[in-house]
Amino acid sequence: MELSLAHPALKAFMCGSLSGTCSTLLFQPLDLVKTRLQTLHSNMQPGSARVGMVTVFLSVVRTEKLIGLWKGVSPSFVRTIPGVGIYFSTYYSLKQHYFLEQGPGAMESVLLGAGARTVAGVCMLPVTVIKTRFESGRYNYVSVAGALRSVCQIEGPRALFSGLTATLLRDAPFSGLYVMFYSQGKNTLPQEISTSPYAPLANFSCGILAGVLASLVTQPADVVKTHVQVSPHLYKRTADAVRYIYNEHGFPGFFRGGVPRSLRRTMIAAMAWTVYEQMMARMGLKS
């Protein structure tokens, strides 16, 4: 009996990992540009979000070549392949356990998404810290394993969990809001579209809208998380980073890097959910 319950969860893990891998490879440059924008020094004002994004993009290509846009893709893979798998398998298990007969409502969707993201976020936080540092361009790490060893030896294992509060404040609400907007959007689709060959495209469109709304709400937490993980020696508490960002950049500073992050998170989430649901359907499982 235990094996039969675990088997669908394992399938959900595999589907989630594959969907996350494809989307991470495609959109890693947007994540790198977002991180660089958020960690600009106070005397390097990028102007508007759009000009700042283009400026940073061209600067990376000019100084680090085109391949530089994929800096940090190794830790992204190390984080995404198991991380997205953990997220979807947890989400699937919770949904099957609590909402097997009746689908979740709006608030239940928020709790499902937030709960699954919290589990995945805590499990993968050490790799998230390394990934953020890779992308910042301030550390000369050669490999993920070498970076993990370096942090443990120089800063102590605790540094691998820096920004935990900000990460959960960003990821749990994002995922909860995303699942709510996405599921509610799908429920409003006419039955003839949901059962037509265009269903994946319609689902992807719902994912785009859900991603934009969830990204805007959680952008300030993402900026704080980046600062804490890149410079943990400067911020003893999350509140210290919040105070610094506000004093140096004002309220708009909490939305720095919002354009590339919204693009990346929206496209990744929409693609991941579309691929996940299609693969689960092919396996005969209800996602």
Residue ranges of the domains in the chain? Answer: 2-282
* Helix or strand (DSSP H, E) at 227: helix 199-230
Given a cut of 70, whether residue 4 has pLDDT beyond it is: no
Task: Find tokens 């911020």 and name the residue.
Answer: 235
CATH 1.50.40.10 fits 2-282, yes or no: yes
Q: What is the pLDDT of residue 286?
A: 72
Given a cut of 60, whether residue 102 has pLDDT beyond it is: yes
- Residues sharing a CB contact under 8 Å with residue 267, sequence separation 6 or more, in sequence order: 23, 26, 27, 30, 208, 211
pLDDT in tens, 169-179: 888 999 999 99
Q: What is the pLDDT of residue 47?
A: 46
Confidence (pTM): 0.72
Give the lowest-confidence range in 29-33, 49-53, 114-118: 49-53
* Helix or strand (DSSP H, E) at 67: none
3-state helix, strand, coil in the chain (%, to 5): 80, 0, 20
